[in-house]
Amino acid sequence: MDKKKLAVPLVCHGHSRPVVDLFYSPITPDGFFLISASKDSSPMLRNGETGDWIGTFEGHKGAVWSCCLDTNALRAASGSADFTAKIWDALTGDVLHSFEHKHIVRACAFSEDTHLLLTGGIEKILRIFDLNRPDAPPREVDNSPGSIRTVALLHSDQTILSSCTDTGGVRLWDVRSGKIVQTLETESSVTSAEVNQDGRYITTADGSTVKFWDANHFGLVKSYDMPCTVESASLEPKLGNKFIAGGEDMWIRLFDFHTGEEIGCNKGHHGPVHCVRFSPGGESYASGSEDGTIRIWQTGPVTQDENETSPAIGLTGKVKVTADELSHKMEGFHIAKGGKTEEEATDA
C-alpha cells in the first residue's frame, strides 16, 4: 500500500482551463509525442516521455474538445466549439486546413493511412474528409441517433466507431455503405472509447463501468464496476495486463485486466479527471483534469527518493530539449507568448 502513496507524477502546466482530451502518437523515429485539448482553445504538443512542452497550436476561437496526431506525428488535428476542425503542421504549428461545420465538433480522428480525417459532434453527422483534396466536400453519414461524443477508425479504415453524448452504446459503421453493422450495448452514454494498438480490444467507459470488447467479433470480453463515475479508461498497450481509469473522484486508478483488482491509486489532481491514456510503450500514462494540468505517471512505482523534486513542466518561454531528435520538431514552431491573455473559450 505504501507504494501507492509514493507515486510522483510529472506535472505539466500551461493550460488555463480544463484539459478534456489527450492523445499519444505512436513511437516515431523522433520519439513519441502527447497532444492535449483544453477549453482554453489552444491545443499543446509535448514530448510524450518527459512532458516537456514543445509548442501551442493557436487559431481556434472556442473550447477544443478533441485532438489527435497522425501515425508519424507530423500533423495534428483538433475539433472545437468554434464549429471547425483544423489540421495543423506538427513541426511548425501552422494551420494547414480548417474544415467548417454547422455546430460544435466534439471528436476527430485520423485514418490509419493518415489520408482521411473523421469528425463528429453536435450535428449528429459523421464526416470523412479527404486530406489529399481538402477543398472537396466530405463523405457524410447522417443517421447517428444522438450528438457524437467519440469517433475512431478501425479494421484498416473500413469501420467507423462512434458513441453519443445523450444515448448509450457504441456504434460500428461500415465505411462503404454508411450503415450500422453492430451496436455494443451499454446502459450509460460512452464517454471514452479506445481501440488498442494491436486492434484486438475496444476499451469503453460508461457511467461507473469499464468494458473491454473484442474489436473483431464485437463480443463483450470483460466488464468491471468502478468505485465512482469514470469518464475515461485506457488499456496498457504492450502486455494488455492492466488498465487505468479516471473520473469524478479526481484519482487515477490502476487495475489488473484479468481480475479487475485495483493495484494502484494515484492522487494529485484537484478536479475531476476527464481523460487518461497509456503511452505507446506502456511505461507511463497521462491524465488530464478539470484543474487544467496534465500529469504523467510511471507505470512502475516512482518513489520520492528516485525523484527528489516533484517535477513541474510549464510554459517558461524556454523549452527544455532533452534529446537531439526533438530539435527538428522545435524549429519554426510558434512558441506561445508567456502571459498572453487567453481568448475566452466557448463551452458547449
- In which band, very low, low, confident or very high, does the pLDDT at 312 lie, cut at 50, 70 and 90? low
Question: What are the residue boundaries of the structural domains of the chain, listed by start?
Answer: 10-298
Percent over 90 (pLDDT), the chain: 83
Mean pLDDT calculated for residue range 270-285: 98
Q: Of the candidates 343, 345, 266, which has an alpha carbon nearest to the alpha carbon of residue 310?
A: 266
pLDDT of 333 reads 58
Which residues lie below 8 Å from residue 253, measured CB to CB, with a gap of 6+?
Answer: 226, 227, 244, 245, 246, 262, 264, 265, 266
pLDDT tens digits, one per residue of 141-173: 998 999 999 999 999 999 999 999 999 999 999
Poorest-confidence range of 76-80, 103-107, 236-240, 310-314? 310-314
C-alpha to C-alpha distances, 293 to 183, 185, 269, 312, nearest whole angstrom? 34, 33, 8, 10
Cα separation, 80 vs 78, whole angstroms = 7
Residue ranges of alpha helices (H) inside 8-94 are none
The helix/strand/coil state of 91 is coil
Residue 104 has pLDDT above 60, yes or no: yes
User: 32 or 319: whose pLDDT is higher?
Assistant: 32
- In which band, very low, low, confident or very high, does the pLDDT at 323 lie, cut at 50, 70 and 90? very low
* Average pLDDT of every residue of the chain: 89
Mean pLDDT calculated for residue range 76-95: 98
pLDDT tens digits, one per residue of 53-63: 999 999 999 99
pTM score of the predicted model: 0.88
Cα separation, 319 vs 298, whole angstroms = 22
Superfamily of domain 10-298: YVTN repeat-like/Quinoprotein amine dehydrogenase (2.130.10.10)
User: 347 or 107: whose pLDDT is higher?
Assistant: 107
